[in-house]
Structures are given as C-alpha cells and as structure tokens.
Structure 1
Amino acid sequence: MNQEERMEAISHYLIGHSSIQIEDICDMFNVSKDTARRDLVRLEEDGRIIRTRGGAMKSSRKEDIPSYEVRMENITEDHRKIGRLAAEKVRAGDRIILDASTTVQTCSAALEGKECTVVTNSLHQADLLASYHSVNIHVVGGILHKSHRYMYGNEAVNSMSRFFADKAFIGVVGISEKGLTVAHEEDGAMKRKMIEQAGEVFVLADYSKFDRNDFVKIGDLEEVDHIITDRPPGESLQSYFKMKNVTVHLV
C-alpha cells in the first residue's frame, strides 16, 4: 500500500472514530513510526486532520494548526539530520536569519559552538540559542502569535528590513514549480522579507513538501539557492530545480 492509499484509509477510519494514534497506523499498515508520522504530516497539510501528541484527530477546518509544542513532538530523526546539515553551512562570523518553523529549530539546536549572529522572529529559536555563548541574537519586534510564539505584522516585517544577512534558513509547507508556499499570510509576509534580506536562501523541507502548494505564495524558485531535504524530489521537479539553479542537498 502506497502513501496515498494509506492516507485515504486513515481518513476513512477517522469518519467513524474521533482520533487515531501513531501505533494504530503502524499496526494497521505494518509501517514504521516515521512513515506513520509522514502520512499524518501530509494529511495535516491537506487540512484533513489535526495532528496531536502521538497521533491525530479529524478536522473540518484547514486553519486548525497544532501548537508549536505539538508539532515539535512530530519531529523525526530525518528532520534533525536536515537541521544538522543546515548548521554545517554556517561559517564563523556569518549573519543568518532563522524563521519560526519547527524544521528550522533543528538547525538552531545544531548551532552550539558556531560563532554567528542570528536574526529571528521566533521566541522559541531565541530561547534555545540563548544558552549558546558563541551566538549573538536579534529578535525582531511585532505582534506576538501566542500559540506559535513568533512575531508578525507590519512592525515585525519593517524590523526585519533593517537587517541584511549572509544566509536565511526557511521552512515551507509546499515546494513546486509554482514556487514556495505556506498556510497563512501573517507567516508568509515575514518569510518573504527574510528571503529578500539574505544573500543566500536555504529552504529546509522533508520530501513530503515537494510538488505541493498551500494557500500563500512566499517566493519563486529563482529566489532559492539551496534546498536541504531527506529524499530527492521527482524527476520533473529535479529538472526544474536544475533549470532554476537550485542546489538540492540530501541528508
């Protein structure tokens, strides 16, 4: 059974049940926990479920997004490998931008010992980095998104425009020939400005983000220099990346 078939089966299961656990998916389809989590990530991106700690429940609203803490519970070793490879791209003295995504936080966690300056709109990123003596931190001001603990709004975007960075590390929901997309405009406006302010743009995304589009476009592939991921995209998208001079790094 392929991923699309499992996703349909999970959705059908949730018609008659209020929730499903990772272990249930593993038993039903004889797959690993990482595979089960990836299935739930895809279903969440389609707006068909709400991921919870250790599983998911059905959703009738696409805008229902679990809290940052719940999403961090679903971070896999593949995500951590993506973050570690991203951190390897940071050189001594670099000025870098980090967005508020959970995948980018795995990069933050691997920055210990790196001498760099970080600009971020994420209180989670800042809190994690505060214990790293070699990292200088600038947090942009703005309106606080209480559930996900990031700054947004015109003040935050204007604050970000004051900084120029060597590299930006961005997480997205979708990557396709149409560009980069995320779920919400408030998040998208900040990511667009981060891309504008960086000399090099790194997109951190697991393979499930390929050939997908969400609600808000934040940039074209011409604006991306590198994609760090866990599996290669399909041949068509690979060819498009090559045409747009986007380098794909596999963990």
Structure 2
Amino acid sequence: MFQEERLISILDYLKSNKRISVDLICELYDVSRDTARRDMVKLEEQGSIVRTRGGAILPTLSKEVGNYDQRLQEESSSKLTIGRTAAALVQDGDYLMMDASTTVLQAASALTSKPNIVVTSSIETAAVLTRKDGVTIHMLGGVLDNKHHRVYGAKAIEMLNDYHVDKLFIGTCGITEDGLSAPDEEDCYMVRAMMGHADQVIVLADHSKFGKRMFHRVVGFDQIDLLVTDQALSEEMKETLLAHDVEIVLAGGDDHHD
C-alpha cells in the first residue's frame, strides 16, 4: 500500500473511531513504527490530524466559515425547510428579533403573519422584510460587516436596550453538547445581548452544524427555549437538550419533544 492510500485509510478510520495509535497503524497496515510516525507527521503537516501521546485524533475545532453568499448556498434546502417551520411559530402581532444567520433569513422570507415588529442586525433580513405587508423593521445601527452582511459593535448592542421582544430567532455555526459556538467574538456579544431582550429564544440549526465546535462559545443550552432542526438528533444530543428543557422541533414534520 502506498503512503497516500494509507493516509486516506487512516483518516477514514479516525472518522469512525475518533482516535488511532501508532501501534494500531503498525498492526493495521503492517508497517514499522518509523513509517507509522512518518504518516502521522505528514497528516499533521496537512492539518488533517492533531497528534496526541502515542497517537492522533481529528481536529475538534472548525475554523472555516464562508462569506454570506457561500453560507447562503450551504444546505440551502434544509435552511428553507427550517425557515418555513420557524415562521409558522410566529403569531400575528408578535414582536421579533432576528440575528444575521442565513437560516434566520429563510424564516423572515417565509413569514406570513402580520402585523409584526422585527428588530434585526442583518441587512439581508431587513431587505427581505421590506417586501412584506404589515411588518415594521427596526434596523440596528453600528459598523457594517461586509463579509457577513450584518451590523455589529458597541453602538448596535447599546441600541438593543431600547427593545424587548416576544421571540428571538438566532442561527449558529456550531452545536456540541457544550452549547452553541461561533468563529468570532462580535457574533457572540451580539447574540448574548439579544438573548437578554427576548421572552423566548429559538435556535435554527441544520444537521451540518451538529458536532461542530468553533473557537468562541456563545451560550449553553440553559438559555435556549426551542431548537428547530431538519434531521433527528443523536441520542446524546437529544438527552442533553431535554435535560435543559429545550423543546426540539423537527422541520418538515410534526415531531415535537418537550
């Protein structure tokens, strides 16, 4: 077996088993310890693994987050389904807050209730809502993030003090059993601040976000009331959410777990 084939096979093994040792590489591929170590060094140089004592694991941190248009394309049909289900949770007359998530944008697009008042940090969500009758938009002011089409900074967070809403809709870049995480601080500050100004916090997350951990922890599950997602969760994740009294709504179905 060539080294390239071995490296692919080692990564496949790690995806299923989380951890591999030098001894196991020797045993599985009938190679010397030196060869096994060289394989590990090569995989580490590629950024594919993190070497640990006597072995390796896959990196647990997700670091890449695309720009707004790229994120809009990712799992787009899942986001549409989740957006429609989330929009159906909104009652006529509700006051809402929406972050700059691309999944939340789909919820804004699917809104059929009215009249509603919406506070948002997202220029895309604000633009979508201008096309709907009976929606009054309060756009947060501050610094405009060109990459993610959102407003952020101290001014925007200060403006939140002027509002209190019935429901807050937020997306997330990653969900693990520790809670929600995001790639940058500004996103964390904004979402945490928004949570302090809403009676109910609703997280919208497609299946690709689960098991992803980003650099910044945003919040634990104790501050979330409802999660809308598009695929059944692992037993561990479901138990963690239910232990924190988070209601799970499966989009596209009528599956509620209290």
Query: Could you tell me how far apart the structure 1 residues matched to 2:208 and 2:159 are?
Result: 32
Aligned to 1:233: 233
- Contact 2:62/2:213 (8 A) holds in 1: no
From 46, 49, 52, the counterpart of 2:62: 46
What is the letter of the counterpart of residue 167 of structure 2? K
Q: 1:211: Cα distance to partner?
A: 3.0
Could you tell me how far apart the structure 2 residues matched to 1:131 and 1:224 are?
30
Deviation at 1:81, TM superposition (A): 0.6
Structural mapping, 1:64-75, within 5 Å: 65-75=65-75
Partners of 1:90 and 1:114 within 8 A in 2:
no
**Cross-structure match for 1:186:** 186
- Amino acid in structure 2 at the alignment position of 1:46: S
Structural mapping, 1:58-137, within 5 Å: 62=64, 65-137=65-137
Letter in 1 for 2:105: Q
Count of residues in correspondence between the two structures: 199
Contact 1:175 1:181 in 2 (8 A): yes
- Are the aligned partners of 1:84 and 1:106 in contact in 2 as well (CA < 8 Å)? yes
Q: Structure 1's 183 and 7: CA in aligned 2 closer, same or farther, altered over 3 A?
A: farther
Secondary structure at the aligned position of 1:92 is classed as coil
Q: SS state of the match for residue 239, structure 1?
A: helix
1:116-140, Cα deviation, whole Å (9 max, x unpaired): 1100011111011101121110001
The residue aligned with 1:171 is: 171
Judging changes above 3 Å, is the alpha-carbon distance between structure 1 residues 109 and 5 closer, same or farther for their aligned structure 2 residues? Answer: farther
Deviation at 1:178, TM superposition (A): 1.3
Overall identity of the aligned pairs, in %: 34
Tell me the TM-score normalised to structure 2 length: 0.72
1:133-174 residue CA offsets vs partner (Å, 9 max, x unmatched) = 211100011111122221101111111122111000000112
Answer yes or no: is the 8 Å Cα contact 2:118–2:137 preserved in 1: yes
- How much does 1:218 deviate? 1.6
* Aligned-partner Cα distance in 2 for 1:75–1:66: 13
Q: 1:5 to 1:197 in 2, by over 3 A?
A: farther
Give TM-score scaled by structure 1 length. Answer: 0.74
Alignment of 1:1-12 (within 5 A): 5=12
Residue 20 of structure 2 corresponds to none
TM superposition shift of 1:177: 2.4
Letter in 2 for 1:183: P
Residue equivalent to 1:221? 221
Task: Note the residue ranges of structure 2 that are not aligned, 5 or more in a row.
Answer: 1-10, 16-42, 47-58, 252-258
Alpha-carbon contact 1:181-1:217 (below 8 Å) kept:
yes
RMSD: 2.2
In the aligned structure 1, how far is the partner of 2:84 from the partner of 2:196?
24
Q: Specify the structure having the higher radius of gyration (Cα).
A: 2
Q: Distance in 2 between matches of 1:68 and 1:132?
A: 22
